[in-house]
A and B are shown apart, each in its own frame.
Chain A
Amino acid sequence: MNHTERVCVFFSIGSDFAKVVRTVRARQPHSWITAMAPPDFPMDGIAADEVVRMEVDRYRPWHVGRLRRLARQLRAGRYDRFVVLFPSVKLKMLASWSGAPQCECWGVDGRVRRLDPGFWGNFSGEIPRRLRGFRQFLDLWAQTLLRPVRKHGR
């Protein structure tokens, strides 16, 4: 691992963010780590000299202007690695726009899942998953609405 590697950890609401930042710091002791979180977001147990803290505002709904500003902010950081906490579509999109060659999803339990840094690569896996999900969704509602429990009550 390169000692000058620049890592950005993007926040998600919850106590897990601080835990993941701590794990990243422990595993990459020589990296330059930026923790991106809104103002007054807690980072218990993380010393200020261990990570650089950068503020973003994301408590309001997403809109194009805000997203563009955020993407510009991320690209300006020229990160080598972009870390998110969940593989959600929004965060995957942000990862692909961050410009970082390596994008990862880190779990609280220390598991690391690689995300494709490319926009299309990231979303190609989405299509079969969505199709499978839609089929399950149809089955769920068909069972729920068309096949009621007949005999019930104690």
Chain B
Amino acid sequence: MKLAFVDLVFSWPPLGGAPLDLYQTMVGLQQLGHDVKLFFAADNDNWNRGEMPPGSLPFESQRLDFGLDTFTPEHLPARFREAVDAWRPDVVFVCFGFFMKPYLTKALAGYPLVSRYYAYEVACLRDYRQFWKRATCRKDFLNTPNACRRCTARALSSDIRTGQINMYAREYLATGAHRPEYYDVLVESVRAYDAIIVYNHMTKRHLAALNSNIHVIPGGVHAGEFAFTPPPQRKPGEKKIILMTGRAMDFSKGLHVVQRCGEILAQRRDDFEFWVTVEAPFVKKAPWIRPLGWHDVSELPAFYRQADICVVPSVWEEPFGMVAVEAMATGRPVCVSRVGGLQEIVTPGETGFIYDRNDAKTLAGHLETLLDQPGLRARMGEAGRRRVEQEYDWPRIMQKYYPPMLEGLVKKAKTA
């Protein structure tokens, strides 16, 4: 089958989870015997969009160049349509695309279309995160469009007024996403997809009223890259390491919960140390916390191997939770907050613990249980590894989810 992937934000090496997910999906589908081709936008007036050293992708790709005058809803979708038509795919995947995605979807009508949503793109125009004033936002663009438009305008105003417009704000204006008509374009685009792929059931429920063919497909790791390592053997008196990885300087990742939890634990014991991938200025100094600084993804397996326990204390509705999967792949028990897709990764009591977000006291209780029981840590670590091999290993994900979905699309197209 010929599968075209269209992405408007792709760059390589990846700057986030979305391009990485797209890359792994395309490589996986190619290994399943499909012809895949990526059509991506490069914007010469914007940094990083479409940046890629030649020959860095193991599959066919086509770069379409745009500038300030041509990155518009009138020009861009037509160019992509032309390029896709020339390749004649059986199915088109519309991937990440900020505000231009609905227009692109409209232009690609006629092909079986699959959309991949990576966060809460349809619900939150401000930053796709539905996270506001340090809490999950209860509003969403489909139900409260005018409140969400005001919120987005407030958030982007200062940049726009000073003329220091970043890629996101510029696209917001260029696509007319601040105009009321954009609401209809977006809603119609969600309805138009033959299938939608999301990371978690919360997003599925959110979109279910507009589209009934929604697939929850998790992200994954290559289990081989995160080799299972038995838990470190600690000498008496040696501190056990509780690791928090990810973009910890971002409030939504919950470093403040770890700090409160550490204070609670420190009143009872001193046989632990939190290692956090964050710079020193972002951490309240304490003897039980060690800021590790920023680290490249390639350096993380070494930290997981040294750790005894991993925590993912996110306080926003994390769409997925790659760091939890990485920790489980290495064989570490994980304590995660009950949010978004994160809670779907951990089996409570088997591969780790789940606690209510912001509840540092309960987190401290779970960590004490794990600190006191090396046997439990080892058992949970092994169970986590098994779960990753069964559910989150890329080849397994590709085998399990994509063939049935593609067959369904082809059947539907034939019937139509």
| A144 x B143 contact (CB < 8 A) | no
Interface residues of B in 133-185 (CB under 8 A from A): 142-146, 149-150, 153, 156-157, 160-165, 173, 178-180, 183
| B47 x A109 contact (CB < 8 A) | yes
Interface size class of B (residues with CB under 8 A): 20 to 34
Digitize B263-302: 1 where CB-to-A-CB distance is under 8 Å, 0 elsewhere: 0000000000000000111000000000001110000000
Q: Which residues of A contact B179 (CB under 8 A)?
A: 143, 147
Is A136 interfacial (CB 8 A cutoff)? yes
Is A148 interfacial (CB 8 A cutoff)? yes
Is A134 interfacial (CB 8 A cutoff)? yes
| A133 x B161 contact (CB < 8 A) | yes
Q: Which residues of A contact B161 (CB under 8 A)?
A: 130, 133-134, 137
| B163 x A140 contact (CB < 8 A) | no
What is the distance, in angstroms, from B165's C-beta to the closest C-beta of chain A?
Answer: 7
Report the nearest A residue to B51, measured CB to CB.
A109
Beyond contacts A59-B281, A134-B161: 19 other A-B pairs, Cβ-Cβ < 8 A, are: A14-B294, A15-B294, A18-B294, A40-B281, A42-B293, A44-B293, A89-B162, A111-B47, A130-B163, A133-B160, A139-B178, A144-B149, A144-B150, A148-B145, A149-B180, A152-B145, A152-B183, A154-B143, A154-B210
Q: Which residues of A contact B144 (CB under 8 A)?
A: 152
Report the nearest A residue to B209, measured CB to CB.
A154
Contact of A144 among B163, B178, B279, B294 (CB under 8 A): B178
Interface size class of A (residues with CB under 8 A): 35 or more
Grouping DSSP codes into helix (H, G, I), strand (E, B) and loop, the B interface class, with mixed when no group exceeds half, is: loop
Is B213 interfacial (CB 8 A cutoff)? no
Digitize A120-145: 1 where CB-to-B-CB distance is under 8 Å, 0 elsewhere: 00000010011111101101110111
Is B48 interfacial (CB 8 A cutoff)? yes
| B47 x A140 contact (CB < 8 A) | no
Contact of A38 among B142, B210, B281, B294 (CB under 8 A): B281
Contact of A147 among B162, B180, B294 (CB under 8 A): B180
Is A65 interfacial (CB 8 A cutoff)? no
What is the distance, in angstroms, from B178's C-beta to the closest C-beta of chain A?
Answer: 5
What are some 11 contacts across the A-B interface (CB < 8 A)? A42-B293, A88-B164, A129-B163, A133-B163, A137-B161, A139-B173, A139-B178, A148-B146, A149-B180, A152-B144, A154-B187
| B294 x A44 contact (CB < 8 A) | yes
Tell me the complex Cα distance, A143–B177, Å.
10
What is the distance, in angstroms, from B157's C-beta to the closest C-beta of chain A?
Answer: 6
Chain A positions within 8 Å of B, measured between CB atoms, are 14-15, 18, 38, 40-42, 44, 59, 88-89, 107, 109, 111, 126, 129-134, 136-137, 139-141, 143-145, 147-150, 152-154
Report the nearest B residue to A38, measured CB to CB.
B281
Contact of A107 among B47, B178, B281 (CB under 8 A): B47
Q: Which residues of A contact B210 (CB under 8 A)?
A: 154
- Of B164, B165, B173, the most chain A CB neighbours within 10 A belong to B164
Contact of B160 among A89, A137, A143, A148 (CB under 8 A): A137
| B165 x A133 contact (CB < 8 A) | yes
| A149 x B146 contact (CB < 8 A) | yes
| B157 x A140 contact (CB < 8 A) | yes
Q: Which residues of A contact B51 (CB under 8 A)?
A: 109
Report the nearest A residue to B208, measured CB to CB.
A154
If A109-B48, A111-B47 touch, does A42 touch B163 (CB 8 Å cutoff)? no
Tell me the complex Cα distance, A150–B149, Å.
13
Contact of B142 among A18, A139, A147, A154 (CB under 8 A): A154
What is the distance, in angstroms, from B18's C-beta to the closest C-beta of chain A?
Answer: 18
Tell me the complex Cα distance, A143–B145, Å.
13
Q: Which residues of B contact A18 (CB under 8 A)?
A: 294
Tell me the complex Cα distance, A137–B183, Å.
20
Q: Which residues of B contact A145 (CB under 8 A)?
A: 150
What is the distance, in angstroms, from A108's C-beta to the closest C-beta of chain B?
Answer: 8
Interface residues of B in 302-331 (CB under 8 A from A): none
